[in-house]
Amino acid sequence: MGVDNPIIVALDMPTAESAVHLAKEVAPHVGAFKIGLGLLHGPGPGTIDALVRLGLPVFADAKLNDIPSQVEMAARNLAHHGARWVTAHIGGGQAMLEAAVSGLADGAGHAEAGILGVSVLTSLDKHDLQRIGIDRTPGQLVSKMASVAAASGCEGVVCSPLELHVVRQSAPSMITVVPGIRPSAMDDDQARTATPAQAIEKGATYLVVGRPITAADDPAAAAAAISEIVAASTPQG
């Protein structure tokens, strides 16, 4: 995979304090932290600063989607807080994605930072797409979106494990960040999921794991167990 630990833990906690506390618990067993809209629009992007101080990359799942100038400004500001990755909806178009890439690079300076294009949310399936007037399967839509993200200078694509193969075909140079990772079946709001071993086998670069770790009785032990599964599933050499 080219990464030491591909597990990104989704810190979908109610407060910045609880997110940082959990991050400290699981840090030895994961490769990066992710914060989403709940923390970014609640405690605010200062949460990124607190997590960066723990020594692992921080993924700001901001899902930017606005006119290019606003997205550029937002990406720049998130980079100032130390975000290693920031998400932007591919559906916002190539000009918007290019603005996000430019703003993030400007804000990061010499630090490594990249935009991840959000394709089709893992909470959606074919029938959900049809209800909003999109007469394509998730795979067909992700394939086209991955090409747009690559042309815009994005570092990678966020996609479900079920669409990893089409991303490899459409944009082979892009990293793939895969949410909806479940060690076993769970009754939640994700429609297109996979186990860690399945996602690794399909070629995922990073795996986003939330509730299987954060809702566990012992988050550190849960993270360690998933890390062991990933290590055993990762091709050597």
Residues designated as active site = 63
With beta carbons less than 8 A apart as the criterion, state whether 160 and 179 touch: yes
- Return phi, psi of residue 41, to 5°: -100, 0
With beta carbons less than 8 A apart as the criterion, state whether 115 and 97 touch: yes
- How far apart are the C-alpha atoms of 35 and 16, rounded to whole Å? 10
Separation of CA 32 from chain center: 10
Contacts of 217 (CB under 8 A, 6+ apart): none
- How far apart are the C-alpha atoms of 194 and 180, rounded to whole Å? 7
Question: Among all chains, which residue has been given the structure tokens 């910045």?
Answer: 16
Residue of 66, 24, 69, 19 lying closest to 44 (CA atoms): 19
Question: Among all chains, which residue has been given the structure tokens 């991955």?
Answer: 146
Tokens read off for 207: 């795996």
Contacts of 165 (CB under 8 A, 6+ apart): 202, 203
Strand-pairing partners, residue 163, are none
CB atoms within 10 A of CB 162: 23
